[in-house]
Amino acid sequence: MLQEQLIQTGGFRNVGPTDARTGFQLRIRSPYYRGLWADLIERPTVIVDDEEFDGRDIRWSLPDGDYTFAELQESTDARWPMGTAAMLTVPRDGGLRRGIHDVTLVLRLRMSYIPEELQPSIWTATRKSVIVK
């Protein structure tokens, strides 16, 4: 079930085997009510416990495939449909420690029908999320 919040409660977890964590994942929903072509997504900012992660390094999992940020920008047919969560995979050696984390996402989206000088639209969300293993 897709939740109303930008940062979803499920899907926040470490990636990789316990002894070789390669990063973490964050499940998000699109704040835009129509769905969005992937090349209209601008570089996101993810902040966990005051550590900022560069959006250029974040991988996106959308219903039609997995993409680096550069691949999203080059795509002509990838789409983030309304009502479908995206999974962001953030590289970080060792992943995150178990426990509660303060997670912030700054998401910048361009809309094809809004004048360039008024772009991008920016959504910011912060919530506490838990890594269980």
Local structure of 11: helix, strand or coil: coil
The pLDDT value recorded for residue 9 is 86
Q: Which helix (H) or strand (E) holds 70?
A: helix 69-74
Q: Is the dihedral of CA 71, 75, 78, 79 positive or negative?
A: positive
In which residue are the tokens 């409660």 written?
9
The pLDDT value recorded for residue 2 is 52
The pLDDT value recorded for residue 1 is 47
The pLDDT tens digits for 90-122 are 999 999 999 999 999 999 999 878 888 888 999
Say which residues have a Cβ less than 8 Å from residue 17's Cβ, sequence separation at least 6: none
- Smallest CA-to-CA distance from 97 within 55, 48, 32, 34 is with 48
The pLDDT value recorded for residue 3 is 60
End-to-end CA distance of the chain: 23
Q: Report pTM.
A: 0.91
The pLDDT tens digits for 36-90 are 899 999 989 999 999 999 899 999 999 999 999 999 999 999 999 988 999 999 9
Identity of the amino acid at 94: G
The pLDDT tens digits for 2-19 are 566 889 988 999 999 888
- With left for phi above 0 and alpha for psi between -120 and 50, is residue 72 left, alpha or beta? alpha
User: Who wins on pLDDT, 124 or 5?
Assistant: 124
Domain ranges in the chain?
A: 13-131
